[in-house]
Amino acid sequence: MSEQEDRTFFDTFMMVLAFLIVFTVVIFAIANMTANRTIADRHVQTPDAQERLAERIRPVGRLCLEGYEDDCEVAIAQVERPAAADDEALAEADEVDGQQVYNQACTSCHGQGVAGAPATGDQGAWSARLDKGYETLLEHSIDGFQGDAGFMPARGGNPNLSDDQVAAALDYMLEQLD
């Protein structure tokens, strides 16, 4: 190979090399630009996307403390407790729901009169028991009672019930006799 040929080869080779380098740089620049645009659209850093994200992970509820109303989205006036006139209704709502306790803890036996339990609403089954007096019935409801008919477990077998809850359930049960 002559020197002239060497030279030509070298020049061509360099040109191809230079072209490839430029080509690479151009491709890189284009890729970067496109990526920037699409990422900007989808990326969590745009205010729009931030808003959508916040909406998706928004908590279901918020604690709103009296005295710190500024932190609340809901004006406190809207959730203000009812006026004094409604206090009585409120107190009533706060009371234990005897029917609910009864349904949960007593109805399994007393509903149909299972295993010797006096059935709710059955005058005949209850009249003799009513003669014992309310206090005794309440005591037997709370502490349990072994009678001739069967075994009445303390608090209907639900030790988590408070005295008030058992009393409310008993009241409900006795009301059904009327």
Contact 177, 121 (CB under 8 A): yes
Q: How far apart are CA 111 and CA 162, in angstroms?
A: 21
What letter would DSSP give residue 66? T
Rank residues 145 and 176 by Cβ distance to ligand HEC and give the closer one: 145
- Smallest separation (angstroms) from ligand HEC to the CB of 126: 8
Q: Backbone dihedral region of 157: left (phi > 0), alpha (psi from -120 to 50 degrees) or beta?
A: left
Rank residues 72 and 107 by Cβ distance to ligand HEC and give the closer one: 107
Name the 3-class secondary structure at 72: coil
- Smallest separation (angstroms) from ligand HEC to the CB of 58: 42
According to CB under 6 A, which one of 35, 40, 74, 115 is a site residue for ligand HEC?
115
- Kindly tell me the burial class for residue 130, based on how many C-beta atoms sit within 10 Å of its own C-beta (0-12, 13-18, 19 or more): middle
Residue 150 binds ligand HEC, judged by CB under 6 A: yes
Residue 112 binds ligand HEC, judged by CB under 6 A: no
Produce one character per residue of 104-121: b if its CB has 16 or more CB atoms within 10 Å, e if not: ebbbebbeebeeebbbbb
Residue 168 binds ligand HEC, judged by CB under 6 A: no
Q: Report 116-135 residues binding ligand HEC (CB under 6 A).
A: 116-118, 129, 132
- Smallest separation (angstroms) from ligand HEC to the CB of 86: 31
Contact 45, 52 (CB under 8 A): no
According to CB under 6 A, which one of 49, 99, 103, 108 is a site residue for ligand HEC?
108
Residue 166 binds ligand HEC, judged by CB under 6 A: yes
Residues that bind ligand HEC (CB under 6 A): 105-106, 108-110, 115-118, 129, 132, 136-137, 140-141, 145, 147-153, 155-157, 166, 169-170, 173
